[in-house]
Amino acid sequence: KAGVTQTPRYLIKTRGQQVTLSCSPISGHRSVSWYQQTPGQGLQFLFEYFSETQRNKGNFPGRFSGRQFSNSRSEMNVSTLELGDSALYLCASSLGRGTGDEQYFGPGTRLTVT
């Protein structure tokens, strides 16, 4: 099975711009979660989508949004970029059933905001 893929792998944007990141889950996985990783902060949960619906949301401002398509692919959008948004953005897919449901991560998109 192909793993989780994320595009693009690297991105440089300017403050105030917006950005869209894409994630294709493992075939058959219906849940996609997004995480932000910054130095010293570990991985912080952004949101989770299941069957095209946002099911869980972390403590991030409304500038961070996402969506999921009928084929389970997901996109994450960040509007009005700030310098502090520079981070590695990871998506993870899972079957989405709940208990014992391991998440499998993609390689991430490295976003740099200048």
Partner 1 sequence: DQQVKQNSPSLSVQEGRISILNCDYTNSMFDYFLWYKKYPAEGPTFLISISSIKDKNEDGRFTVFLNKSAKHLSLHIVPSQPGDSAVYFCAASAIRSSGSARQLTFGSGTQLTVLP
Q: Please give the residue ranges that form the binding site for partner 1 (CB under 8 A).
A: 4, 31, 33, 35, 40-45, 48, 50, 55-56, 58, 90, 92, 94, 96-108
Of 35 and 64, CB closest to partner 1? 35
The least distance separating partner 1 from the CB of residue 5, rounded to whole angstroms, comes to 10
Of 31 and 81, CB closest to partner 1? 31
The least distance separating partner 1 from the CB of residue 108, rounded to whole angstroms, comes to 5
The least distance separating partner 1 from the CB of residue 86, rounded to whole angstroms, comes to 16
* Beta partners for residue 33, in sequence order: 48, 92
Token pair listed for 9: 């792998």
Of 14 and 41, CB closest to partner 1? 41
CA-wise closest residue to 114 among 74, 84, 88: 84
Please answer whether residues 51 and 30 qualify as being in contact, where contact means their C-beta atoms are separated by less than 8 angstroms.
yes
Of 24 and 33, CB closest to partner 1? 33
The least distance separating partner 1 from the CB of residue 72, rounded to whole angstroms, comes to 13
